[in-house]
Amino acid sequence: MKQNTPIFASIFGESWPTMPLVFHKHYANRPFSNDVTKTIGIMDIEMAWFLKILAPLFAFTQTLVPFAEQAIRCNVNFESETTSNAFWFNRQFYFPNRKPYMFRSKLIPQNGNKVIEYTKSGIGWIATYEFTDGLVKLNHLGYIFTIFGQELSLPLELIFGKSTAWEEAIDENRFRMKMEIRHPIFGMVYGYSCEFTVVELPVD
């Protein structure tokens, strides 16, 4: 049964009423619904040279976008589903001289502000969401792999590093964001940044 409270209202908790309007639009999707929020943007994607060697693996496992390019047009739809409180990311990237690249992942709320974002391969990122200092911040907790219904901890921090991200409001319809995977020795090994515009909100 569709609920009227957005999925992320409970994740952000007491911060939700005070957040900029663009974030109420960005995170408007309700659980157990057909809600879709659409955004468009221009994205820069960076990747360390040794990760480029693993690009085919990223493509096969659907864990990271496997191309490093600048000024890439992208569409990201945030989608609910009628059977759960999951929050889907449906991403389309338009790289030059390539067919559109699709990348989907599913975010499942846990307790409080904790979430797990699962990729198609079953690899998940555990993180917390918070709104502080005018920013939405995603803080790394770990990686897991789900197989046959069992969740196994993955020590990928030793290989790739920790993931973090932030989002900042620009105006009522636009926000900028940045995501990084930073290794304790090699520094930033993967990252992307984008300015998004919310172009369509869920219809009641």
pLDDT at residue 145, rounded to an integer: 92
pLDDT band at 62 (very low <50, low <70, confident <90, very high): confident
Number of H helices, E strands in the chain: 4, 11
Residue 2: pLDDT over 60 = no
| pLDDT 10s digits, 118-155 | 999 899 999 999 999 999 999 999 999 988 778 888 88
Q: Distance (Å, rounded) from C-alpha 68 to C-alpha 52? A: 8
Q: Indicate the burial class of 98 (C-beta count within 10 angstroms; 0-12, 13-18, 19 or more).
A: exposed
Q: Distance (Å, rounded) from C-alpha 9 to C-alpha 109? A: 11
DSSP class per residue in 41-103: EEEEEEE-HHHHTTHHHHHHHTSS-----SSEEEEEEEE--TTSS-EEEEEEEE-TTSPPEEE
Which residue in this structure is represented by tokens 């918070």? 130
pLDDT, average across residues 108-114? 97
Give the CA dihedral 81, 87, 89, 90, nearest 10 degrees. Answer: 10
Q: Distance (Å, rounded) from C-alpha 82 to C-alpha 85? A: 8
Sorted by where each starts, the structural domains of the chain and their CATH numbers stand as: 7-200 (2.40.128.20)
Q: Name the average pLDDT for the chain.
A: 95
First to last CA, the chain: 14
Which residue in this structure is represented by tokens 């005070």? 18
Token digits of residue 204: 């009641």
Residue 59: pLDDT over 80 = yes
